[in-house]
Chain A
Amino acid sequence: MYRYDQFDHQIAKERVAQFRDQVARRLSGELKEDEFRVLRLQNGVYMQIHAYMMRLAVPYGMVSAAQMRMFAHIARKYDRGYGHFTTRQNIQFNWLKLQDTPDILADLATVEMHANQTSGNCIRNTTSDEFAGVAQDEVVDPRPYAEILRQWSTFHPEFAYLPRKFKFSITGAVQDRAAIEINDVGLQVVKNAQGEIGFRVLVGGGLGRTPAIGTEISAFVPWQHLLTYAESIVRVYNEFGRRDNLYKARIKILVKAIGIDEFRRQVEEEWKLSKDGSGTITQAELERVAACFSTPGYEQLPPADAAVATLQKSNKAFASWVKRNVKAHKVPGYAAVELSLKRAGVAPGDATAEQMDAAAELADQYSFGELRITHMQNLVLADVKQSDLIALWEAARINGFATPNIGLLTDIICCPGGDFCTLANARSITLAKAVDERFDNIDYLQDIGEIDLNISGCVNACGHHHVGHIGILGVDKSGEEWYQVSIGGSKGSPANIGKIIGRSFSFAQIPEVISRLLQVYVRERQSGERFIDTLRRSGLDPFVEYVYATPVAEDEKLLLPDYDLIKHGMSYDTPYYSPRF
């Protein structure tokens, strides 16, 4: 993975000093909250309901064992012993004190990490394919370009006060696992007929209040021009993106308003001024960065391991785990393994400090000391020998990572919701828990097969409900909490926005609604079809009709106080201002 040189270290160090000074000025009252807000957000610091939250950057989801141990340290020293992995492949901590945040940044800098631009109206952390470098369908490894983008966008002086947040995502594979169609800019690394490397560039995708699928602005931008082209897009957006309405400020609205052709014309016009200039990426720089992502020392191994095959036959739990959590690898004898962070009773994406340490240990032992964080909020060990799978499975079980549910109904994407977030209308985490409990039967889940259930607590769509095969959105109706259900969304290859099935439901009705949707799938499916395939073939009608055919009873258990918002103690003891109160 990328290693800092002296310059990266220096910049990281100066950032810590800058933020330390800003926090000191806030604590002394010299900086007003309104002046401080943007500064803290650009360091990932939010004010949530109970405490400060900090989102640490995990560039394109790659993390070393040492960095994972640092997360564990932060969880223990500054938080309540756990952290939450996010859909942008980052990690956030929910229970921080403002005065500790500069120390957290300083600790992070010792392991070549930071929290730069993980929030705010600036260029955010670039996301990528969690199987970059090991996927069988990869055309070009996207990570060197992702790192070059990281450095270019870090403290870009012109783009710190954009109309709204700005997200890049990059993939180099045939199958899009990076959801490039729902990012402000989506990049697909491709080779042209001459074998030259470049980018297919999409623009204007995004979720939130007005979901949109990105549109192609260029079929091929040669790699040397990545930064000047990206800069042209962001510059046009900075000038012309709307600033009068927070909800219409994303680039997707601008692209829709003027049309992709006019937007492309403006970008190309702008690009003329910078193309071939100093922002052109040099061969030397690409090689320097790419060298960090060279192939690890793979052994020559037989393509399959006999012991694994034997145990798969005799042990159902192991077989389920291999089926769901072990993924193909481009090198014979190796596999990529997903460590599930979805298990009953735990918020999706949460991991304890002990689990983080254990994951680091497993990475050291089995996967060249590296891990990845997935946008599905799980972890990946990307380079595991198949002959190590049994030992790894046993270790994963001990540490609560072995739920064999990757891609299944209970592999839920979920935002923090009303338990933590000042924006949420609904209890996302508790709903995920209720779904987990209702469908706690691995045979049934395996039979239902691949399905994306995504839950967002509000229209900001942090839980990506629009692109869930089943999407659930918390909505507020005259102060009451309701849940809107959509179906038919899909996050990539191709991405689709789901359609709302009808009137909303109460919290306690949702598990039954999901059950009915699944019953229609089981009734209608043809051999080999996933939920989404059946839905695409049959259309929404059979699903909608069945869900609303008879009254949906509330699950009475879900009306008990156990399913209320999680009870927390407040931990604010610093100048406090909450947008909620």
Chain B
Amino acid sequence: MLIKNNALVADEWIVLRLKEGEAADSVTVPAGNVIVPLPVWNCQHEALQGRKELGLWLAGFERAEDIPDDVHRFPVIAVDFHKYTDGRGYTLAYRLRNQYGYRGELRAMGDILRDQLFYLKRVGFDTFAVRADTDIRDALKGLSDFSLTYQASTDNAQPLYRREKRGAAR
């Protein structure tokens, strides 16, 4: 199960992770809806070119300059958080949405928990594969921690002072 656009849905994608001994240039990409890691895409680019239902995943530490130019071809891009305290994935998502103009599904996966979801949503993630030991129904609550935000981000291009008439009744 996944959280997608604030609801629980079944996950229709398989995430390909390289196992010990497998290499990006030789691993077999299974048929179906598969999200492949960036090194596999880079190595097997030509062979995979024709597959429409192919997603891409980036490690949280991958940098903007590593992002392929043709991001728009992927119906889903996932960012994998190896540790929830590593915040690089937030900027990565922000860049995908705002600099690259990526409009497809943007998925957060890996070490993410309920208490990270609100910020993740704000920077541009719309789908969340929370850690396996997390109660996903409970995690859903994390998306609505706040009804208001001060600053602009992907979810709201205007900061509060441009959105609302401020200074009203206390």
Contact = CB atoms under 8 A, between A and B. Distances in A.
A6 B168 contact: yes
Interface stretch (B5-13, B22-30, B85-93): B85-93
Interface in B116-170: 118-120, 122-123, 145-153, 157-162, 164, 166-170
Given A6-B170, A161-B87, A239-B88, A18 B148 contact: no
Interface in A17-69: 18, 22, 35, 38-39
Contacts of A22: 115
Interface string A150-194: 011011111111100000000000000000000000000000000
A429 B153 CA distance: 44
Contacts of A158: 87, 90-91, 94, 119, 122-123, 153
Contacts of B63: 239
A279 B94 CA distance: 15
A14 interface: yes
A14 B168 contact: no
A273 interface: yes
A15 B90 CA distance: 21
A7 B87 contact: no
Contacts of A279: 151-152, 159
A161 B90 contact: yes
A349 B52 CA distance: 64
A39 B119 CA distance: 13
A14 B148 contact: yes
Interface residues of A, number: 40
B113 interface: yes
A7 B94 CA distance: 25
A157 B145 CA distance: 12
B64 interface: yes
Interface string A531-563: 000000000000000000000000000000000
B49 interface: no
A278 B170 contact: no
Given A7-B160, A238-B87, A285-B166, A157 B122 contact: yes
A18 B146 contact: yes
A323 interface: no
Contact of B91 (A10, A11, A238): A238
Contacts of B150: 11, 151-152, 154-155
A9 interface: yes
B166 A288 contact: yes
A130 B143 CA distance: 39
Interface in A427-464: none
Interface in B34-62: 61
B153 A157 contact: yes
A162 B94 CA distance: 15
Contact of B86 (A157, A159, A243, A284): A243
Contact of A121 (B85, B149, B152): B85
Contacts of A235: 91, 94
A121 B150 CA distance: 19
Q: Which of B145, B157, B158, B168 has the most CB of A within 10 A?
A: B145
A239 B91 contact: yes
A4 interface: yes
B155 to A, nearest CB: 8
Most A C-beta atoms less than 10 A away, residue of B91, B94, B153: B91
Interface in B71-119: 84-88, 90-91, 94, 98-99, 113, 115, 118-119
Contacts of B84: 35, 38, 161
A18 B145 contact: yes
A7 B164 contact: yes
B160 A14 contact: no
Nearest to A6: B168
A38 B61 CA distance: 20
A355 to B, nearest CB: 29
Interface in A122-160: 151-152, 154-160
B1 to A, nearest CB: 19
Contacts of B159: 152, 227, 278-279
Given A18-B145, A279-B151, A279-B152, A161 B86 contact: yes
Given A14-B145, A22-B115, A151-B150, A238 B88 contact: yes
Given A22-B115, A38-B85, A161-B86, 9 more contacts: A5-B166, A5-B169, A6-B169, A158-B119, A161-B90, A239-B91, A243-B88, A282-B161, A288-B166
Interface of A: 3-7, 9-11, 14-15, 18, 22, 35, 38-39, 121, 151-152, 154-162, 227, 235, 238-239, 243, 273, 278-279, 281-282, 284-285, 288
Q: Which 8 A-B pairs have the closest CB atoms?
A: A161-B87, A157-B122, A157-B119, A285-B161, A151-B150, A158-B90, A18-B145, A14-B146
30 contacts: A5-B169, A6-B170, A11-B146, A18-B146, A35-B113, A35-B115, A38-B84, A151-B150, A157-B118, A157-B120, A157-B122, A157-B123, A157-B151, A158-B87, A158-B91, A158-B123, A159-B90, A161-B86, A161-B90, A227-B151, A227-B159, A235-B94, A243-B61, A243-B86, A273-B98, A273-B99, A279-B159, A281-B161, A282-B162, A285-B161
Interface of B: 61, 63-64, 84-88, 90-91, 94, 98-99, 113, 115, 118-120, 122-123, 145-153, 157-162, 164, 166-170
